[in-house]
Amino acid sequence: MWKRIFTGSIFIVILNISGLLDYKAASEEINTSKIKIEKIGPVYLPWGVSVLTPYEVLVTTKIGKLFLFNLDTKTKTLITGIPRSAFYRQGGLLDVAVQKRKDGDYIFLCYSKLTASENLTVAISKSKLSGNKLIKTQDIFISNYSSKSGVHFGCRLALNDIHLFASLGDRGDRNNAQNPNNHPGSIIKIPLYGKAKTGNLGWLSEIYSIGHRNPQGLHFQKSTGQLWSHEHGPRGGDEINIINKYNNYGWPKISYGKEYIGGNIGLNYSPEGFTDPIWIWTPSIAPSGLTFYEGKMFKEFYGKLLIGALKYRCIYLISLSSDNKPEKEECIFKNIFGRVRDIEVMVDGSILVINDEKNGHLFRLLRTNITNPK
């Protein structure tokens, strides 16, 4: 397990008349060849982005809208038929994931849902995309916990061939995270086909891991099949974890952060029965969005982690060691995008970024001096 203190880099940005940003990084790690930052289009408070086709992506907004962006024409289309979400504090329409099937494209949405008692809970819907409309929409998951709290929804989605995984925050009640009979503070696994199998003894069948505070990064590493996650700590103690079945990641019995009013939270080490994080940030960077770069456009990024940092307004580029653990980081594109909320890699290797701002945008990073790989 590694602990890191924030360090920065020096950047030069030149605005040219084509509407693109020429980006050059003065860094030992980043090649100084040009990276173009292209503004695809504005979007109010974007939260999640997912690739639909080689030139189309879906973007959610916290206020409850889903847009289809065409990267070639730089146009956006409102998608109708989405479930009604509750926009309050950290809640709203949050992440989106796309499953490509022979019979069409299926769209999963994670969102905060208003209950009959006017509490907030977390739900995940499944729909089929038909033109510019979602059809056959149904909730495939509704958390068994609801409250008036408007914080710590988590709500990041990740797909493999047979399951949908989702990260769930503790909803502001830290005790939830150590209760395997409550959904908050866990990562859950939902089968894409058939019913869920019986889970760990004494655990709800869909709960895959527990002990999480507010995880907002979730992604499968293609080369290993491992599920990686990161989560917000309290005052310090943001974490990266490799998620394994039925593991307990400690919160709040173990934390590497502090209470906001000062003082420790539980232990700052993991005794037997708990799983240590593989990377810690102190002070917090407020991580959101996570992907591995396995594209061909940026060789200098290949195999590395890309993580958004809401607090430091940059993208963290994290190198991995020979044993597949984080060993070095850089804060790149600082103050270029604002609060980076999510990151996605396109088929051609270009990188998509959305920022959590009222004047938010969908951005695309690409290199213009190469031919896009087929």
| Domain contains 373 | no
Query: Tokens 């293609």 sit at which residue?
Result: 222
Question: Strand (E) positions, 116-197?
Answer: 120-130, 133-142, 154-159, 163-168, 186-191
Determine the structural domain holding residue 316 and report its residue range. 2-366
Per-residue pLDDT of the chain (374 residues; tens, 9 = 90+): 555 544 333 332 322 223 333 333 334 455 435 799 999 999 999 999 999 999 999 999 999 999 999 999 999 999 999 999 999 999 999 999 999 999 999 999 999 999 999 999 999 999 999 999 999 999 999 999 999 999 999 999 999 999 999 999 999 999 999 999 999 999 999 999 887 777 788 899 999 999 999 999 999 999 999 999 999 999 999 999 999 999 999 999 999 999 999 999 999 999 999 999 999 999 999 999 999 999 999 999 999 999 999 999 999 999 999 999 999 999 999 999 999 999 999 999 999 999 999 999 999 999 876 554 44
Domain CATH code at residue 206: 2.120.10.30
- Tokens linked to 28: 């030992």
Hey, which residues does 352 pair with through a beta bridge? 344, 364
| Domain contains 374 | no
| Domain contains 372 | no
| Domain contains 313 | yes
Render the burial of 244-257: b for 16+ CB within 10 Å, e for the rest.
eeebbbbbbbbbbb
| Domain contains 209 | yes
DSSP 27-55: SSSS--S-EEEEEEEE-SSEEEEEEEETT
| Domain contains 351 | yes
Tell me if the pTM is above 0.85.
Answer: yes
User: How many domains, in total, are found in the chain?
Assistant: 1
| Domain contains 337 | yes
| Domain contains 256 | yes
